[in-house]
Amino acid sequence: MKTFYYTHADFLTHETGAGHPECPERFLSIENALLAPAFCSLLRQAAPLGTEQQIRLVHPPSFIDAILQAMPAHGLQYLDQDTVLSPGTKSAAFRAVGAVCDAVDKVLSGVADNAFCAVRPPGHHAEPNVAMGFCVFNNVAIAANYARQHYQIERIAIVDFDVHHGNGTQAVFYNHANVLYASSHEMPNYPGTGHPRETGAGNIFNVPLSAGDTGDEFRHKYNCIILPALRNFKPELLLISAGFDAHKDDPLSSIRLLEDDFKWITEELMMIADKYCQGRLISVLEGGYNLKALAASVAIHVKTLMSG
């Protein structure tokens, strides 16, 4: 399998302040894990700078202008108590967008079989007009609309296994029947959305987990709800919001997943992609805040993508 890994030193320049869980060390932990000999065939790609035109696929110009105007020349600028801008945020956020759009280009043109984008800041909480939950621009939603606009892909599925509900991604596609959004997440937990009754145009599948749930409950709910929904939908492209904060050691959740659970869901989603999408799958980093658990979980996720 030709797996592209999108990375760039600019992802380190997005500073969030002392004690913030979404820190540059997250990126370093992933970089170090993927330097192991097992990843020698991973095709490393420097994330290009995205464009305002790409960001406008999800976010209106007024929102983009407000974010750019809020970027500080020095120090930190808080958009809310969780979401922080620093002098390096602009380049990091634009490269996150550039990475996911370039991954769409490479995967849909057949240059890559699949891709993992190790980007910061994350994106799935960002709504069209609101940056929140550590997120500035909604990377995975931009990737989906980029594929729809530039490749005329009709049916795109987004699977979000971050422990927090991707309210931003749901908001973008809530009434778009041709984009399926499926999320497993702990409830109650931030941001408070993601109830099963939130179904959009029949394209939204929210699968709450409860504090203390293990891989058994996680796998059962995917087998009963999300995987059948994907098979029924028959996507042409599969995108993953890959958050690893449902790990048992993560400080921001109470779900008890292990690395093998992330391996399992990666394998299951790859089988869906193989059957319906010609294998076309792009994974985009979201959460994961215990550095050791994040590194181990990303390593097994990427190794599984490479194994085909």
Provide the annotated active-site residues.
125
- Tell me if 30 sits within 8 A of 6, measured CB to CB: no
Question: 149-156 long-range contacts, Cβ below 8 Å, gap at least 24?
Answer: 149/57, 150/104, 150/105, 151/104, 151/108, 153/108, 153/236, 153/237, 154/178, 154/236, 155/179, 155/180, 155/233, 155/234, 155/235, 155/236, 155/237, 156/180, 156/235, 156/236, 156/237, 156/238, 156/239
AA identity, residue 114: N
d(C-alpha 306, C-alpha 37), whole Å: 13
Residues listed for the chain: 308
d(C-alpha 246, C-alpha 165), whole Å: 11
d(C-alpha 177, C-alpha 77), whole Å: 37
Nearest to 241 by CA among 150, 88, 125: 125
Q: What is the DSSP code string of 60-124?
A: -HHHHHHHHHH--SSS-EESSSS-EE-TTHHHHHHHHHHHHHHHHHHHHTTS-SEEEE--SS--T
User: Buried (b) or exposed (e) across 200-215, using 16+ Cβ within 10 A?
Assistant: beebbbbbbbeeebeb
Place of tokens 């085909």: 308
AA identity, residue 276: Y
- Tell me if 188 sits within 8 A of 165, measured CB to CB: no
